[in-house]
Amino acid sequence: MEELWVKSAVASWKQIVERLDRRLLPLTDEELQKQVAPGKNRLVYLLGHLIAVHDRMFPQLGIGERSHAELDDAYLTNPDRTLPDPLPVADLKKAWSEVNGALTAAFEKLTPAEWLQKHSAVSDEDFVKDPSRNRLALLLSRTNHASFHAGQVVLAK
């Protein structure tokens, strides 16, 4: 029965990632320069931001090393248009697909018991106090984060 919990949580993640795939991957370099609203983030910033956040899930979940730390300065620690875009759009799209593909493959291998183990951002002591700070909670949180930005992406025109 616990397999169904895993399946539902991973399906929810995949649904949001696929929605973003359909929205962002077909866009041209020029279209990705559009802002979601006047003065707000460009689509390319949100794409880079989501890659950086997802890439960090590997160490956070203890399922691998991250591979795109070069995106943090431009898309995570600084607001949009502070620094030049560090990668051409084609490379950014490739990184998006690779990071999400590798994450999803790793998710599908974790057992229900492994999903309830603590994630690396929680200390052993804190996890004993609050066992809900587990891998699953991190997955749900990142799925909501991606959905939050998906709601912004659809506004660009």
Residues within the interface to its own copies (CB under 8 A): 1-2, 4-5, 7-9, 11-12, 15-16, 36-38, 40, 112-113, 116, 131-132, 134, 136-137, 140-141, 143-145, 147-152, 155
Dihedral angle at the C-alpha atoms of 20, 118, 71, 91, nearest 10 degrees?
-50
Counting beta carbons within 10 angstroms of the beta carbon of residue 106, is it exposed (0 to 12), middle (13 to 18) or buried (19 or more)?
middle
* 38 versus 84: smaller Cβ distance to its own copies: 38
CB of 69 to its own copies, least distance (A): 25
CB of 7 to its own copies, least distance (A): 5
The helix (run of H) or strand (run of E) holding residue 154 is none
Distance of CA 88 to the CA centre of its chain: 19
β-bridge mates for residue 35, sequence order:
42
* 99 versus 136: smaller Cβ distance to its own copies: 136
CB of 49 to its own copies, least distance (A): 12
* 7 versus 94: smaller Cβ distance to its own copies: 7
CB of 57 to its own copies, least distance (A): 16
Give the residue among 117, 115, 119, 121 at the shortest CA–CA distance from 136. 115
Distance CA 126, CA 29 (A): 44
* 8 versus 82: smaller Cβ distance to its own copies: 8
